[in-house]
Structure 1
């Protein structure tokens, strides 16, 4: 997770599995420049892939627990209230996410990030490794504790997640997160009352939209930032 200082723009990034800091800094800088043009400092979360989505969800759940736990004294109440407010986003950007985590998603994501190779053709290039990792992922994801953890994440987004604006940046060529999974999730959030914006890229791979469409990607961030910063 990367966060900008409070005296500039507040940007929180939840990276994909294996994301390097230099890549996240690029996204952080894009939003920071856009937000520096305004006099407000609402927080925008941007998550990448299922790994970033899960990490972001845990932060939001922690903020919710702070709101529900009675503090022991007034000073603690002020401290926890300030932290809770700082954790609440005014907008969320989903890049190549989310989908319900399964063994295929986990296997492709893990091998691709570990070997730093494109997802397409992984199974053909590394058949033995793919089978071993797939079996391990099936075993791990089948554990009751892991199943409960996954269910809690999705239940949170069904009824308790913040109702701030959402932007979904996804692709018809993502070999890890299917476009229909993103669209189903976005539709469910819209039915909860969330204001949803979506942009579906053509041909870009998983978390590759900014690289393939740098200008268009920046324009999407700019338009969304303007919506988040706009006074009611």
Structure 2
């Protein structure tokens, strides 16, 4: 029974925050501001390689949104690398999979340095 309480509390808090943010982001002034930020993120990315580390199990940022953004960036001709950790919660990839995370990051940064040295 005691194990269910944190899960129930987490579910209730998540539902409450989801409803609150859904309401707040529909306010005209906030919606305009959010659309401007999203437009900037999609259209004004620098021409450098991008790395997206995400998880299907993330309860804060839906993995389909991340994958959609990745597809959008690739469609614009940008070099995008990505990895879905599948089971790690939001911003917990390093703690859950430290060696995989470190290896992906090291490989990405080494690839960036090779490109910089060529220019």
**Mapped pair 1:181 → 2:65:** yes
Q: 1:179 to 1:136 in 2, by over 3 A?
A: closer
* Aligned residue runs from structure 1 range 122-201, under 5 A: 124-125=8-9, 133-201=17-85
**Alignment size in residue pairs:** 111
Q: Which runs of 5+ in 1 are unaligned?
A: 1-119
Q: Alignment partner of 1:198: what SS?
A: strand
Q: In the alignment, which of 78, 86, 91 is matched to residue 207 of structure 1?
A: 91
Q: Deviations over 1:157-202 (max 9, x none)?
A: 3322212110111112112222211111011001112101111113
Residue 3 of structure 2 corresponds to: none
Structure with more helix by fraction: 2
Q: 1:217 to 1:145 in 2, by over 3 A?
A: same
Q: Is the contact made by 2:42 and 2:69 (CA closer than 8 Å) also made in structure 1? A: no
Residue 218 of structure 1 corresponds to: 102
Kindly state the Cα deviation for residue 136 of structure 1 after the two structures are TM-superposed.
Answer: 3.4
Aligned partners of 2:92 and 2:79: how far apart in 1? Answer: 25
Q: Which consecutive aligned stretches of 4+ in structure 1 deviate over 3 angstroms post-superposition?
A: 126-136
Residue 83 of structure 1 corresponds to: none
> Aligned-residue CA RMSD in angstroms?
2.3
Aligned partners of 2:79 and 2:13: how far apart in 1? Answer: 42
Structure with more strand by fraction: 1
Relative to the length of structure 2, the TM-score reads: 0.79
Q: Alignment partner of 2:81: what SS?
A: strand
Q: Which runs of 5+ in 2 are unaligned?
A: 1-5
